[in-house]
Amino acid sequence: MSSFTAIDFCVDLFLLLRQHILTLGLKDLFAVLSIVDQQWPWPADEHEEYRLRIRLLWCRTSGEEQIFDELWVPTFAHALQDDVGERAAPPPSLPPAPPPPEVHDTFEQQQDERAQPDPSPNAASVAAQWEPLPFYVPLSLAPVDEAFELGSYWPIAHRQMVYAWRYLRRPVADGPCDRFDLDATLAATIRYGLFRGPVYRRRERNHAQLILLLDQNGSMMPFHRFTRDLATTAQYESSIAHVEVYYFHNAPSAYLYRDPHLTNPLPLDAMLATCTPDTSLLIVSDGGAARGYRRPERIRATRTFLRTLERHTLLHAWLNPMPRERWADSSAQVIAALLQGRMFQMDEDGFSQAIDVIRM
């Protein structure tokens, strides 16, 4: 009785398929060996079932399935002949791929090729059988909860910033006298009893002065996009006559910075020297609400700055990019109490209220 088993048949078929386009690995071989029955030959009713199961594990495209079906029948017949002790010729394989087009080598390359001995055909076939092949990783999709909703926190839109800055106005009639005044013209005509000509008035210009103090880095990094939009809309997309932007980290101290990288310092006294009672000042910072900490040193530094600022202007407000419910039990809660209702959440309503405070 022959010692040929179902494992030998699977290994022969595996090695034969690896010589073609199928990207099979040892993992695929072990997967098939774990499901086949050791009994050989397989019963007639199980033969077709094993063929379909092995093809399902090893073939991933219709082309591979066609190659598998073409090699299964001769390999299985060869295995049955080997089982009864009638060793036949090896099972036929698919025709080899056409040779590559000839390339005319140089004379030195031809001499080197002639000098090298031809490799042993047995060693070449063994190396081809066990050479590493690409490993196929099956795609597994994670389950998706149908009730899941994708959302994002969007404090304030760019367009809303441009619209809100229009309300920060301090009009002064010091422009060119080229505006026709209908009421003054009618009043002069009634007073003199005849039309003496149109009356003109000076054009009004916005003399509002704005200073932006923006908290930079640290817990404010997720909001850099909004603070940048806030500065650019105030400087280039509004009618405000004079806009200055300064940066600080956590709390304004003895020095502010002219650039967002905090590399160009400016003494705080130099900034306050430019403030007048009509200067509007807007501070943008989370005040410690992003991380939920209550830092005494941050509260003291902010309180010292606010007391110094109130000697120069009372038109100041604070915008906090964190929602109001996140202020509790943090430094922002204490700072909001120091500001006496001048800290607002950075949204459309909060931004409008801050503009109302700093334009009074």
- Residue 213 near residue 284 (C-beta atoms within 8 A): yes
pLDDT (0 to 100) of residue 142: 55
346 contacts: CB under 8 Å, gap ≥ 6: 155, 156, 223, 226, 284, 319, 320, 321
347 contacts: CB under 8 Å, gap ≥ 6: 155, 156
Same domain, 194 and 327: no
Same domain, 57 and 73: yes
Question: Rounded to whole angstroms, how far apart are CA atoms 33 and 13?
Answer: 12
Q: What is the DSSP letter of 221?
A: G
Give the tens place of pLDDT for each residue, 283-299.
999 999 998 889 999 99
Stretch 244-272: mean pLDDT: 94
Instruction: Specify if 112 maps to a domain.
Output: no
Structural domains counted in the chain: 3
Same domain, 349 and 229: yes
Same domain, 186 and 307: no
Q: Which of 78-82, 262-266, 321-325 has the lowest mean pLDDT?
A: 78-82
Same domain, 77 and 13: yes
Instruction: Specify if 6 maps to a domain.
Output: yes
Same domain, 50 and 191: no
Query: H helices of the chain, where?
Result: 6-18, 26-33, 44-58, 62-83, 107-115, 121-129, 158-165, 182-192, 224-236, 268-273, 296-310, 331-339, 348-358
Same domain, 303 and 333: yes
Q: What pLDDT band is residue 88 in, cutting at 50, 70 and 90?
A: very low
- Residue 251 near residue 276 (C-beta atoms within 8 A): no
Residue 45, pLDDT > 90, answer no
318 contacts: CB under 8 Å, gap ≥ 6: 282, 283, 284, 285, 287, 335, 336, 339, 342, 343, 344, 354
Same domain, 2 and 73: yes
CA 103 to chain centre: 49
Instruction: Specify if 251 maps to a domain.
Output: yes
Instruction: Specify if 233 maps to a domain.
Output: yes
Q: What pLDDT band is residue 170 in, cutting at 50, 70 and 90?
A: confident
Q: What pLDDT band is residue 229 in, cutting at 50, 70 and 90?
A: very high
Instruction: Specify if 242 maps to a domain.
Output: yes
CATH number at residue 346: 3.40.50
| Global pTM value | 0.55
Q: What is the DSSP letter of 324?
A: G
Instruction: Specify if 303 maps to a domain.
Output: yes
Same domain, 83 and 192: no
Q: Report the share of the chain in percent with pLDDT over 90.
A: 41
Question: Rounded to whole angstroms, how far apart are CA atoms 324 and 343?
Answer: 10
Same domain, 192 and 275: no
pLDDT (0 to 100) of residue 336: 94
Same domain, 86 and 186: no
Give the tens place of pLDDT for each residue, 120-158.
455 555 455 555 555 555 555 556 555 544 445 567 888
Instruction: Specify if 56 maps to a domain.
Output: yes
Beta bridge partners of 200: 180
Same domain, 166 and 304: yes
pLDDT (0 to 100) of residue 174: 79
Instruction: Specify if 101 maps to a domain.
Output: no
Which of 69-78, 172-181, 280-289 holds the top average pLDDT? Answer: 280-289
Domain that holds residue 32: 1-93+124-136
Residue 221, pLDDT > 60, answer yes
- Residue 52 near residue 67 (C-beta atoms within 8 A): no
